[in-house]
Amino acid sequence: MSYRGPLFENRFVKSLPADEISQNYGRQVHGAIYSRVSPTHVSAPSTLILSDELANQIGFSQEFRHSQDFAEVFSGNKLLPGMDPYASRYGGHQFGHWAGQLGDGRAINLGEVALKEGGSLALQLKGAGATPYSRGADGRAVLRSSVREFLCSEAMHYLGVPTTRALSLVLTGDTVIRDMFYDGNSQEEPGAIVCRVASSFTRFGHFQLCAVKGENELLERLLDYTIEVDFPHLHAHELNGTYSRQDIYLLWFDEVCRKTADMVIEWMRVGFVHGVMNTDNMSVLGLTIDYGPYGWLDNYDLNWTPNATDAEMRRYRFGQQPLIAQWNLWQLANSLLLIVDDAASLEKILVDFTGYYEQQWREMLGRKLGLRSFDSGTDEILIARLNRVLQLHETDMTIFFRTLAMFDPYLPEARFTDVVMSAFYQPEEIPSEVLTEINAWGDLYAERLRRDDMATEQRRLFMNAVNPKYVLRNYLAQQAIDHAHLGDYAMLRELYVLLQAPYAEQPESVRFAEKRPEWARHKAGCSMLSCSS
């Protein structure tokens, strides 16, 4: 293979200790952050879809990205110069319970690419075969979950939500056996591999496992590396003597807390539910990571979760995501206690998370409502009543906030519900008393807008920049998957183009902005999903 492109560097593997055992078999790994492992060969790789924007940023030429060599590399069949593949070791709390060693069970990291504009990006194959952390599984991924991962990570990027990204989706030419509903009905499904991209894939669980195993020196070494590479501004403070190392650790944790809060705020803004907020699925960079049984709200329901495994407890439901984020940060703080001397400061940072989140949440809602700024004197009541109004009748969250921009507070004869009626499911069934209450909120909102006195067209532009027209609705993703299973990838590619401009009107694609159809209310993949992938 003749290759001219970016070279890979491997700071992670050069800076941190490797597993001493080189054989690839499932085991408990001690005293190491990663295990070197090669991807497993696939029979007939072909590139289904890729991100040209990301490929340009990395430095891959047009010739290479559209070659068979690209498919061979990003299926794991070949390596580019400098690649040094490995799977990393971490643990985590799953559904609130410590799960022990987890690790990259089907993710294989290829290395990092230095960017011309500074920084670097790490590339990781998901579904490239078994690793020492696979826990008896095959390390593969199926097409349906890979389509969802590729589309969602890219959709979130263009929505402005902090996220890992997807460079490519490659078909393997092989089938994978999966029991989608864990009911004993295993089936063959087409296999696929996504190349995930992020500046770092370091998770809360990396630190947790070191702490649980009592590997204090390794924990400190990992934290020092993370600060130096992923938080260089903090590392600079230590180098110039501005802060002590202990102070830097506290500053780092405070920044992780704020990045996590900012990420969840963005989830809430667009109506996204992660579905599996285990600590091993939490990035220290505040990036959305591990797209499994996620979903977007159709109707505004604080108790909704897309995860069938979580259907009874609803631990990871939409309205609880900020509380779970804070709980996860507590677990990270507990791990840091082995090397941080100041437990009181760690606790204060965690307590401050609540105030920071609430402030950012109010400001976010103010933007969604088209307000110049949040006025605690009046807007607390406005938002509290809005939260009630959105739950009085089944209301599509995305459509409601998008159509809200069309409301004119200077037309007193217009009823508020006439403007937002398209957001309601079964609008003909709305009781009159509910309509009255919704319109009463509209009157309150109109008065607030008049007091704000922003020009109507300016406000619409302002609101349309934060309230998307298009999100990756669950039923749309499932339709694309159903077509893909039949060898028809047109809808997948069409959705990908659409989701790159989620705030634009795109009148030729307006059918993708419609409410969830009734047939999708309880259909598998359109309402709730399993963790099977």
- Report the percent of the chain where pLDDT is more than 70: 98
CA distance 326 to 449: 34
Please check whether residue 93 is in contact with residue 279, taking contact to mean a CB–CB distance below 8 angstroms.
yes
Q: Quote the pLDDT of residue 3.
A: 79
State CA 515 to chain mean position distance.
23
Q: What is the pLDDT of residues 447-471, one digit of tens each?
A: 999 999 999 999 999 999 999 999 9
Domain positions in the chain are 8-204, 211-292+304-366, 371-453
Q: Residue-wise over 420-430: b if at least 16 C-beta within 10 A, else e?
A: beebbbeeeeb
pLDDT digits (tens, 9 = 90+) for 231-282: 999 999 888 888 999 999 999 999 999 999 999 999 999 999 999 999 999 9
What mean pLDDT do residues 483-504 have? 98
Longest dimension (CA), the chain: 76
Amino acid 242: pLDDT: 86
Could you tell me the pLDDT band of residue 182, with boundaries at 50, 70 and 90?
low
pTM of the model: 0.96
At 122, is the pLDDT very low, low, confident or very high (cuts 50, 70, 90)? very high
pLDDT(183) > 80: no
User: Catalytic: 280?
Assistant: yes
| Mean pLDDT, rounded, of the chain | 95
Q: What is the pLDDT of residues 299-351, one digit of tens each?
A: 999 999 999 999 999 999 999 999 999 999 999 999 999 999 999 999 999 99
**Which is nearest to 8 in space by CA: 83, 93, 72, 101?**
83
User: Do residues 466 and 269 make contact, with C-beta atoms less than 8 angstroms apart?
Assistant: yes
Q: What is the share, in percent, of the chain residues with pLDDT greater than 90?
A: 91
- Does 180 have pLDDT greater than 80? no
111: closest CA among 15, 42, 206? 15
Active-site pick, 104, 280, 298, 379: 280
Q: Which of 4-13, 271-280, 484-493 has the lowest mean pLDDT?
A: 4-13
For residue 533, the model assigns a pLDDT of 56
* 364 confidence band (pLDDT: 50, 70, 90): very high
Amino acid in position 64: F
- Tokens 């409410």 belong to which residue? 515
pLDDT (tens digit per residue) in 125-165 = 999 999 999 999 999 999 999 999 999 999 999 999 999 99
CA–CA dist 143, 190 (Å, integer): 6
Beta strands in 365-455 (DSSP E): none
> Residue 353: is it exposed, middle or buried by C-beta count within 10 angstroms (0-12/13-18/19+)?
buried
Dihedral sign for Cα 447, 452, 457, 463, please. negative
Which secondary-structure segment (H or E) carries 166?
strand 165-178
Rg of the chain taking only CA atoms, in angstroms: 24
